[in-house]
């Protein structure tokens, strides 16, 4: 029997992929191994919670809750937008509608703590599913935890409070677990769970396409590997058809076809690695992304990991992550689950290194107090980082970040001014503030453009809007074509300086981050 025939689903062979490769070491030092594994698990849990501890609400949250408020207060389904004064699409295909319907009553009843707890629960659920998938594939507990440590940056990228993506990441991790369970155990019937999962997912967030894509990759990879693959096909077809169970029917898929091909150069999370490098943005995030990819490549070569299906999934998500920052999370989730098995083999090889054996002897001579003290120190440090910002609260910063930094802030002072002086009408504002203004000022004010973006606004309207915001040639045409009553912009922007000298407009408010203009009678 050839070597390739001996290989299991993990591509490393049963002797390597199984936790039994560690039994010899565990029998020699069971207490030390258990302490190391449990200590690493505790420390990683603290790191994960710290990475999830973001208290600045994401702009999209206000859009979700505005939809939810409209849904619950009117008693009907909103098929037409009521928040914008610019021309909008009809119908309004809001792929995150169910997220808003769920989050609004949760916020009304439990406030910010309720939303934050939901974020932590779904974030840790994704982590747990990655760990379980790694163990299912044959990784040791320690290797599975170390693999999670390697990919923990995804918790800082995708979990600002509270985006619909938190459902997508949890469901993507669950889909991966179910696929690997079927692949490694032959329990194919469990894959039918993906059908109702896709229905729920499609109504929460358009990221359900990632789940369908992963299912298709497994069918392709297993077919090319001459492993059982036929059962994936009816599940994929049924799951895809089931996504038509939504308030918009097939119109949802027409929206998705247009949205997937729509350029978004002005939205930071859609920038590519090359654009980010050129603009000096997200350097740290992309550096970590490439380092993790490089380590995965090194590890696969070092232990001769040959497994086509994971390679296809990792390769495609890596390309998507290079194209758009927001897609890196999928690469990290897959890497955390897949890489633990070759990491198990690599750690086994390292145990045979004489230098590491010498270090191990030194560690055994020192005894348990030093590792215990280091663990306690790490837990205390991360405990402070978790508790300091008030992990269950929301914080709305009103000051812009320092030059060269990218961070969200809100025009809270300008909103208070508008409310105090009972101003109303069409409000032309910065893109990132639109949904917050919908939440705080509707129906008194209607906004120009906001983060609901392609779900509401035609592409030509978006181009005209950004031409105004960035003060491109012809920006005055936008004011004439779609006349606003109020303009609220970043006070440091070029358009703000131009408006200060623009006839027919008067600046009525300014603080460190925003400036408000009112049309003269």
Structure confidence by residue, pLDDT tens digits, 86-97: 999 999 999 999
Percentage with pLDDT > 90 across the chain: 78
Q: Which of 41-50, 125-134, 367-376 has the highest mean pLDDT?
A: 125-134
Both 417 and 279 in one domain: the answer is no
Q: Please report whether residue 342 resides in a domain.
A: yes
Rounded distance, CA 496 to CA 490, Å? Answer: 7
Judgement on whether residues 144 and 220 belong to the same structural domain of the protein:
yes
State mean pLDDT over 270-276. Answer: 82
Q: In this predicted structure, what is the pLDDT of residue 2?
A: 39
Are 339 and 437 in the same domain? no
Residues paired with 88 in a beta bridge: none
User: Is residue 28 one of the residues assigned to a domain?
Assistant: yes
More confident residue, 226 or 374: 226
Say which residues have a Cβ less than 8 Å from residue 158's Cβ, sequence separation at least 6.
165, 166, 169, 326, 329
- Residue 187 in domain: yes
User: Out of 34-38, 108-112, 202-206, 488-492, which region has the weakest mean confidence (pLDDT)?
Assistant: 34-38
User: In this model, does residue 518 exceed pLDDT 90?
Assistant: yes
Q: What is the mean pLDDT of the chain?
A: 90
pLDDT, tens digit, 9 for 90 and up, residues 460-473: 999 999 999 999 99
Q: Is residue 445 part of a domain?
A: yes
In a domain, 197, yes or no: no
pTM reported for the whole predicted model: 0.91
Residues 443 and 512 placed together within one structural domain of the fold? yes
- Give the mean pLDDT of 306-319: 97
Number of domains, the chain: 2
Residue ranges making up the domain that contains 299: 3-52+117-192+215-229+268-351
DSSP for 130-168 reads HHHHHHHTT--HHHHHHHHHHHTHHHHHS-STT-THHHH
Within-domain flag for 236: no
How confident is the model over 58-70, as a mean pLDDT? 98
- 25 pLDDT band (50/70/90 cuts)? very low
DSSP character string of 249-294: TTHHHHHHHHHHT---TTSGGG--HHHHHHHT-SHHHHHHHHHHHH
Model pLDDT, residue 189: 95
Instruction: Using the predicted structure, report yes or no on whether residue 6 has a pLDDT greater than 70.
Output: no
Instruction: Give the Cα separation of 154 and 132 in Å (integer).
Output: 18
Q: Is residue 203 part of a domain?
A: no
pLDDT at 26 over 70: no
- Grouping H, G, I as helix, E, B as strand and the rest as coil, residue 397 is coil
* Percentage of the chain modeled with pLDDT above 70: 91
E-strand ranges in 315-448 read 425-429, 445-447
């Amino acid at each position: 029997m050839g070597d390739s025939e001996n290989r299991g689903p993990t591509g490393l062979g049963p002797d390597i992929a199984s936790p039994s490769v560690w039994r010899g070491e565990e029998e020699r030092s069971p207490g030390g191994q258990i302490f190391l594994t449990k200590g690493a698990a505790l420390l990683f849990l603290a790191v994960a919670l710290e990475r999830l501890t973001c208290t600045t609400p994401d702009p999209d949250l206000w859009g979700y809750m505005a939809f939810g408020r409209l849904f619950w207060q009117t008693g009907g389904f909103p098929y037409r937008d009521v928040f914008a004064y610019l021309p909008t699409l009809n119908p309004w295909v809001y792929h995150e509608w169910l997220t808003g319907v769920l989050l609004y009553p949760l916020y009304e009843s439990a406030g910010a703590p309720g939303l934050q707890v939901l974020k932590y629960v779904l974030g840790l659920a994704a982590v747990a599913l990655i760990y379980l998938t790694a163990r299912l594939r044959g990784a040791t507990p320690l290797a599975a935890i170390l693999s999670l440590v390697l990919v923990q940056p995804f918790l800082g990228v995708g979990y600002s409070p509270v985006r619909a993506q938190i459902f997508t990441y949890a469901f993507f991790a669950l889909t991966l677990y179910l696929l690997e369970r079927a692949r490694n155990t032959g329990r194919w019937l469990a894959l039918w769970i993906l059908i109702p999962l896709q229905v729920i997912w499609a109504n929460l967030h358009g990221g359900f396409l990632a789940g369908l894509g992963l299912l298709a990759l497994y069918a392709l990879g297993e077919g090319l590997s001459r492993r059982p693959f036929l059962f994936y096909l009816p599940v994929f077809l049924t799951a895809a058809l089931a996504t038509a169970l939504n308030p918009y029917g097939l119109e949802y898929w027409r929206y998705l076809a247009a949205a997937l091909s729509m350029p978004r150069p002005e939205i930071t999370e859609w920038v590519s690695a090359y654009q980010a490098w050129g603009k000096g943005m997200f350097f740290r995030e992309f550096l970590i992304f490439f380092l993790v990819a490089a380590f995965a490549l090194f590890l696969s070569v070092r232990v001769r990991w040959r497994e086509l299906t994971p390679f296809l999934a990792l390769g495609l998500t890596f390309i998507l992550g290079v194209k758009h920052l927001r897609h890196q999370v999928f690469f990290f989730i897959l890497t955390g689950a897949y890489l633990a098995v070759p990491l198990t083999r690599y750690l086994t090889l390292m145990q045979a290194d004489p230098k590491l054996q010498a270090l191990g002897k030194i560690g055994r001579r020192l005894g348990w107090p030093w590792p215990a003290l280091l663990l306690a120190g790490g837990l205390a440090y991360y405990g402070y980082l978790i508790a300091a910002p008030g992990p269950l609260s929301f914080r709305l910063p009103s000051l812009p970040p320092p030059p060269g930094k990218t961070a969200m802030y809100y025009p809270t002072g300008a909103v208070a001014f508008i409310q105090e002086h009972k101003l109303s009408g069409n409000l032309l504002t910065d893109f990132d503030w639109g949904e917050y203004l919908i939440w705080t000022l509707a129906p008194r004010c209607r906004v120009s453009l906001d983060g609901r973006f392609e779900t509401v606004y035609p592409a030509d309207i978006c181009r005209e809007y950004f031409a105004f915001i960035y003060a491109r040639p012809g920006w005055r045409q936008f004011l004439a074509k779609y006349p606003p009553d109020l303009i609220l912009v970043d006070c440091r922007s070029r358009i703000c300086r131009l408006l200060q000298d623009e006839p027919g407009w008067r600046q009525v408010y300014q603080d460190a981050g925003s400036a408000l203009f009112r049309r003269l009678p």
